[in-house]
Chain A
Amino acid sequence: QQQVKQSPQSLIVQKGGISIINCAYENTAFDYFPWYQQFPGKGPALLIAIRPDVSEKKEGRFTISFNKSAKQFSLHIMDSQPGDSATYFCAAGAGNNRKLIWGLGTSLAVNP
């Protein structure tokens, strides 16, 4: 049972465009929602994270939008660059249970 559903599986965007990746969760106990970026041959690296007390968080070109009632959160990459080409994972965590539940990942390709 996939507790965090991520879409799309793959995404192709032109340079300068907006990349949008969506995740939906089921467990209302989740209270931490990070996005990780992974380049080939590397471990995942934290990109940005949000908690349910805010609906949006922005760091540079990366924005998380969070909809608590819909149990959905999304990653927006503004002005996408070829260097953003990577696999992106959403995840969710709950309180004192420090394990993260991972989405299946989105392979993003930004064409020059």
Chain B
Amino acid sequence: SAVISQKPSRDICQRGTSLTIQCQVDSQVTMMFWYRQQPGQSLTLIATANQGSEATYESGFVIDKFPISRPNLTFSTLTVSNMSPEDSSIYLCSVETGMNTEAFFGQGTRLTVV
């Protein structure tokens, strides 16, 4: 298993600003994922972040808007840049351990852009 600490848990931000979300894992993991989840909705994958390589973004998400860092095997950040109210959502960090494709999630960051 893996324990994931995500910070901040929530924030209210002004439009046009940027927020960096941190994800810390208690063990080394190869693959980390960043998701967005609208309240009451399903999860949408933003990007996959592997240590030592560029993040791989899903369709509809670009690096300029959601830059990701993965400096080591236990930590990653996601920045939501130049925010607009449409970016208001819950952002979730997820890691995968072992060969069973089991994914563990942080508690999420609830972002409100005003």
Contact = CB atoms under 8 A, between A and B. Distances in A.
A49 B42 contact: no
Interface in B1-17: 4, 6
Which of B4, B40, B105 is the most central at the interface, judged by chain A CB atoms within 10 Å of its CB?
Answer: B105
Interface string B52-84: 000000000000000000000000000000000
A102 B106 CA distance: 17
B42 A105 contact: yes
Nearest to B4: A43
Given A41-B107, A43-B107, A99-B48, A32 B101 contact: yes
Interface residues of B, number: 23
Contact of B108 (A42, A103, A104, A107): A42
Which of A99, A104, A107 is the most central at the interface, judged by chain B CB atoms within 10 Å of its CB?
Answer: A99
A39 to B, nearest CB: 10
A89 B104 CA distance: 14
